């Protein structure tokens, strides 16, 4: 379990963005960040409207594909375990956990970035359009940035 008393706790929400939306908004990631931040802070009818917008631009998380990728990446590690569907890495210098929801992934980490990077590297190999958002520390971005395509 992640220790929440430390000042180094990081919480990332990862969304799988629809392809057409990701291509259109590439380079304007702040719009996604602001949408997810406003959703977390809103209430009532406004929250319902923002939820509909988020549902429109995101895809369901491919749970089986992610589970397979994580197990493939983590099987050689001795510092990981899976408990109640949550993946944990507890290293000497840091710890992280990954929880898979229907339309969202959560990564919580403490200490160095090493443990969370194990999860991020595994997720980079599954889909291109994962967008990570840490609204508390105003950090956001693609796990694997889209490349601009040249038009002929």
Query: pLDDT, tens digit, for every residue of 29-76?
Result: 999 999 999 999 999 999 999 999 999 999 999 988 899 989 888 888
Is residue 126 in some structural domain? yes
Is 120 among the domain residues? yes
Residue 151 domain-assigned (yes or no): no
> What is the domain count for the chain?
1
Q: What is the DSSP string of the chain?
A: ----SSTT-EEEEEEEE-HHHHHHHTT-HHHHHHHHHHHHH--HHHHHHHHHHHHHHEE---HHHHHHHHHHHHTT-SSEEEETTEEEEE-SSEEEEEEE-SS-EEEEEEESSHHHHHHHHHHHTT-S-EEEEETTTTEEEESSPPPPPPP-
pTM of the entire structure? 0.85
Which domain range does residue 102 map to?
A: 10-142
Give domain status of residue 122, yes or no: yes
4 pLDDT tier (thresholds 50, 70, 90): low
Query: How far apart, in whole angstroms, are the C-alpha atoms of residue 38 and residue 58?
Result: 16
Domain assignment present for 1: no
- 2 in any annotated domain: no
Please, are residues 128 and 26 in contact by the beta-carbon 8 Å criterion?
no
Q: With respect to residue 42, please indicate whether it lies within any of the assigned structural domains.
A: yes
In a domain, 150, yes or no: no
């Amino acid at each position: 379990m992640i220790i929440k008393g430390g000042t180094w706790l990081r919480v990332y929400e990862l969304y799988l963005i629809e392809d057409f939306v990701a291509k259109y908004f590439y380079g304007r990631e702040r719009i996604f960040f602001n949408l997810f931040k406003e959703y977390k802070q809103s209430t009532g009818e406004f929250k319902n409207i923002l939820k509909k917008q988020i549902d429109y631009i995101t895809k369901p998380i491919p749970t089986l594909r992610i589970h397979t990728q994580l197990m493939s990446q983590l099987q050689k590690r001795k510092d990981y375990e899976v408990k109640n569907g949550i993946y944990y890495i507890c290293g000497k210098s840091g710890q992280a956990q990954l929880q898979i929801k229907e339309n969202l992934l959560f990564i919580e980490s403490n200490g160095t970035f090493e443990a969370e990077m194990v999860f991020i590297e595994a997720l980079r190999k599954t889909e291109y359009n994962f967008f990570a958002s840490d609204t508390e520390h105003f950090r956001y971005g693609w796990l694997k940035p889209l490349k601009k395509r040249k038009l002929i």
